[in-house]
Amino acid sequence: MKKYLLTVIPILFRYSLLAQQTITLHVDPDNSRGGTSTEIFDSIIFIPLETTKESLFGSIDQLEVTDSLLIILDISGRSMLFFNRNGTFRYKVTTGGIDKYFYYFAVDRLAKEIIVTNNYAKGLLIYDWNGKFLRKEPCPEEILSLYIFSGGNILYNRRRKARLEPSDHTLYDLAYSKGYDSITKNLNPYNARNEDGEFNIGGNTFNFSGEAGSCMFSLPYDYTIYQLNDTGIVIKYRFIFPLLYSLPVNFSTDAAYRTIRAQNAYLNPGYKSTFTALERGYKYGEYLLFSAFSRRTSESADYNFAYSLHSGTLISFSRVTADSSSYFLPILSGQIQKIEAIYKGNIFSSIPGFRLFSVKSSLDKKVAYPKALEQYFKSGNRSDNSVIIQFKLKPGL
């Protein structure tokens, strides 16, 4: 059978498309390009996060960046950690119990507050940027995550329930609220007969879009990334992948898949190369950055991408070769790394300590590391905290 769409199709008539609600992207990972770090990245800064007994964490489940802070959620460690932008540790907020978890947090940049969803306190927990608990706020039931707009509107992602006896009626994934508990509008309807908990992903369902006043949202088993502002959907980015990488067209909407989606997506041998979710999207100048999750776990597997909305060029970061500009260290290579945040023109990712030391030990050349990395390698070890990578892409790739 002839392979479906062997080329990445450029977006034509870009300016007329931007006025429409849906932009369709035909994307073939096998036809993506790479390059060297020097060719792809405009600047690269490595920021080791200080490792002490108090600051040691397990994983970066969410990262938010401010002018002065790097704020990290460690779900398994039941904590939020605050670091200065240079990586020095400031303080930590914990849940206070082995059975208590922080699930997700949002940043109200205007009020300088952090709003946390959790499994143990009915409502939302509010902290200031110094990690001090301020108050608890009410919220609608079954909330997975939220995004706060500067005008005070809040966008919620509602949790889907696992119903034993599904029936035909309309429910919604998204809800707008004026304040914390005053729903004004629902969005993204679906039939309750299709409802099950397999659509409830941990961690981020919203992220800053990269464009002022809007955020991105996506669901598992679906190839659409939604860009929303404080009133509704601005743009739908609809991805079409070759058959090798695609779930069945009706996979997210057919009730026949109810309760067996995860089993099919993650255990069925025929879906090994299939993208099961688009994990966040960002507008970055002319590029749409996104991650496409699959069961392929090799270091060379395509996972993080940049799609040029000008030319249709697709870059896979797994195909970018480390060189002296990145100190021969990988950036966004494979599923062990992801795009964590975008802030003021900079992209933020991270790399675990064990991965850094492994790469360093495999190099057969002497590398002149910057001072922070040199000290990290000299005094640290494989179990140290991750290193944040701050970088920019070159325009016109």
**Do 87 and 46 meet the contact criterion of CB atoms below 8 Å apart?**
no
Report DSSP state, residue 339. -
Distance, in Å, from the CA atom of 211 to the CA atom of 251, rounded to the nearest integer, reads 31
pLDDT tens digits for range 166-198: 678 899 999 999 999 999 999 999 888 877 778
Predicted confidence (pLDDT) per residue in 209-237, tens digit = 999 999 999 998 999 999 999 999 999 99
What is the C-alpha end-to-end distance of the chain, expressed in Å?
Answer: 33
Residue 167 exposed, middle or buried by CB count within 10 Å (0-12, 13-18, 19+): exposed
For residue 2, being part of any structural domain is answered with: no
Q: Is residue 4 part of a domain?
A: no
pLDDT of residue 207: 93
Positive or negative: CA dihedral 212, 350, 219, 248 = positive
DSSP H helices in the chain: 14-18, 37-40, 261-267, 353-362, 371-379
Which distant-in-sequence residues (6+ apart) come within 8 Å of 158 by Cβ? 140, 142, 143, 144, 171, 172, 173, 174, 175
* Residue 383 within any structural domain of the chain: yes
pLDDT at 204: 65
Number of structural domains in the chain = 1
Token pair recorded at residue 100: 């208590």
Site of tokens 């002065």: 68
CA distance 302 to 246: 14
Measured in residues, the chain has a length of 397
Strand partners, 240: 26
List the chain residues with pLDDT less than 50.
1-20
- Can you tell me the distance from the alpha carbon of 227 to that of 211, in angstroms, rounded to the nearest whole number? 10
In a domain, 177, yes or no: yes
Asked if residue 334 belongs to a domain, the reply is yes
Reading the block at residue 68, the tokens are: 């002065």
What is this structure's pTM?
0.89
Asked if 52 and 89 count as a contact pair (C-beta separation under 8 A), the reply is: yes
Domain around 346: 14-393
CA–CA separation, 189 and 242 (whole Å)? 27
The pLDDT value recorded for residue 150 is 87
pLDDT at 261 (0 to 100): 84
Q: Do the domain assignments include residue 306? A: yes
Residue that has been written with the tokens 């739908």 in this structure? 236
CATH number (domain holding residue 168): 2.120.10.30
- Residue at 5 is within a domain: no
Q: What is the pLDDT of residue 273?
A: 84
